[in-house]
Amino acid sequence: MYKFLVTGGAGFNGGNFCHYMVNKYPDDVFVCLDALTYAGNMETLAPILDKPNFSFVHGNICDRELVFSLFEREKFDFVVNFAAESHVDRSIENPRIFLETNILGTQTLMDACRKYGIRRYHQVSTDEVYGDLPLDRPDLFFTEETPIRTSSPYSASKAGADLLVMAYHRTFGLPVTVSRCSNNYGPYHFPEKLIPLVIKKALADEPIPVYGNGANVRDWLHVHDHCTAIDCILRKGRDGEVYNIGGHNEKSNLEVVRTILHALGKPESLITFVKDRAGHDLRYAMDPTKIMTELGWKPQYTFETGIGPTIQWNLDHQDWLANIISGEYLRFMEKNYRRN
């Protein structure tokens, strides 16, 4: 039996990971620590709250006293850190909180790991630490050796955390791994992200905001495949290694929007181009060769097989969507997605 701490487990990626692990490993114990900020939602965890191998703790990873007391009490074997401020637009509006949570929070967790001992600390990172790739070079991909070249306060904070994690491994011998994943989609996705936002707007026949001309390209990975990849790294990964996670599912933002509109039977006239994001990355594309060849991981979904069930999940869970939309979220949307 192993005991896991999953931070940020009430968010999109962390919540899906909790669902996956709690159900796959009924003999292991999982503790979720989440501050329940705007993107954290207890309703995401509702299906597993009564599971005997799962428990929830409300708290912030920056709260050193809370984190250390939790480690002392629970004696964790593994720590998986999903906890992060993660929306690029929000980082442009307020960079400081991203540095506090994403870097100092990571330090707090690793200090606790050093004091109390763990089998592995895993840092969940992002492809955005690599910057971007040109649209006219489809032959180029991010590898684990690609230099870090951040474009936003968000990606800079995640890169800083990654570097800190690797420094703790080299300086203190802390057993760590880092994963950098491409854009995720799937169930329980907070509605300011592209795919759930488009679904929500299309269902209401509202204008759908698309940055710039919509040509920016992302490599889309179903969140289930992200969960299986992290599980694989925890069980088989080598200490001190970075693993890129991606599925070679590159789509422009405009392609994604049109795919959803077509699936819902909605007109493309709903598309509304808005002022482009400052420092907007052109293209992300991950090379997952390392995790595939060394650890034997491979994705289950293509974008074509994953987007349909994702749309259907949103259609079937309108109550979940309605319950998490707050006044704060609506004010943020109005400020950041105005028409040109």
Residues 66 and 68: their CA atoms lie apart, in Å, by: 6
**Is 127 an active-site residue?**
yes
For 194, phi and psi rounded to 5 degrees?
-55, -55
Collect all residues with Cβ–Cβ distance below 8 Å to 335 and sequence separation of at least 6: none
Instruction: Report the residue count for the chain.
Output: 340
| 77 counts as catalytic | no
Q: Is 154 a catalytic residue?
A: yes
Beta-carbon contacts of 173 under 8 Å, excluding residues fewer than 6 positions away, are none
8: left (phi over 0), alpha (psi -120 to 50) or beta: left
Please pick, among 121, 154, 243, 301, the residue that the annotation labels catalytic: 154
Match 């997605």 to its residue by tokens.
337
| CA 293 to mean position of chain CA atoms | 23
Q: 85, 128, 225, 281: which is the annotated catalytic residue?
A: 128
What residue ranges in 137-235 does DSSP mark as E strands? 176-181, 183-185, 208-211, 217-222
Q: What is the DSSP letter of 100?
A: I
Q: Are 287 and 220 in contact (CB under 8 A)?
A: no
Catalytic residue among 127, 192, 219, 241: 127
- Which residues are identified as catalytic? 127-128, 154
